[in-house]
Amino acid sequence: VLSYAVEALEVRHVIVMGHYGCGGVAASMLPVSLPLERPAHIAIQTWIQPIREVYQTSTRPEIVAHRNEYKDTPLTELPGLHDPAFRALVEENVKANVERIARSYVMRDVNPNSLKGTYVFIHGWVYDLENGEVTDLNVTVGPPGREIPKSPWPSTEQREKEKRAEREAKLNAAQGRHV
């Protein structure tokens, strides 16, 4: 599918779009229930295994803290939508998929052989189901030496600045101060 998109359809922007609240990512944080007897369960576990690997190997502080918290007593129910480790794992899974696609044979073949002056860029974004916002994770990959196009979406850093400013404004308002 990717090969057809970039070679036949000349798609120039591949979007890896995760979403907060993803059931597959949430399921990857739970232990595997053995034995896997039904084909559907086997298929689901096979599908989420790469996400489990991201969970097990991530150095992201939220995920490390979650792994440590549930090391001895594994999680028994899906994490909540606002669980910091869950949200971080959604983002880390997007990043891992951007990297995987960038390293794929399709992408290695398409960029060096692009004689038409067009290049393929792989973007990593996250959609927030709760508020409809899309956030750019700043992990866009493109051909070496080519400028990464500007994203139409705010980055995670921009969103964090906005949240901090909003919290400070509320705190100042509560204390009767104006900035």
Q: How far does Cα 53 stand from its chain's mean position? A: 14
Q: For tokens 């705010």, what's the residue? A: 154
DSSP state of 133: -
Confidence band for 178, pLDDT divided at 50, 70 and 90: low
> Each residue of 55-87: pLDDT tens digit?
999 999 999 999 999 888 888 888 989 999 999
CA distance 151 to 37: 45
In this prediction, residue 179 carries a pLDDT of 56
In this prediction, residue 124 carries a pLDDT of 97
Confidence band for 25, pLDDT divided at 50, 70 and 90: very high
In this prediction, residue 116 carries a pLDDT of 61
The whole-model pTM stands at 0.83
Q: CA-CA distances (angstroms) from residue 132 to 36, 128, 129, 153?
A: 36, 5, 5, 12
Top-confidence residue, 16 or 162: 16
CA distance 177 to 79: 38
Mean per-residue pLDDT, 12-39: 88
2-174 under CATH 3.30.1490.20, yes or no: no
CA distance 28 to 8: 35
CA distance 144 to 157: 24
Mean per-residue pLDDT, 17-39: 87
> Each residue of 149-169: pLDDT tens digit?
888 888 888 888 888 888 888
User: For 10-143, where are the alpha helices, taking DSSP H only?
Assistant: 23-28, 39-57, 61-69, 84-103, 105-110
CA distance 137 to 17: 10
Which residue in 91, 126, 107 sits closest to 2, CA to CA? Answer: 107
> Each residue of 94-143: pLDDT tens digit?
999 999 999 998 887 775 555 566 688 999 999 999 999 999 999 999 88
Confidence band for 42, pLDDT divided at 50, 70 and 90: confident
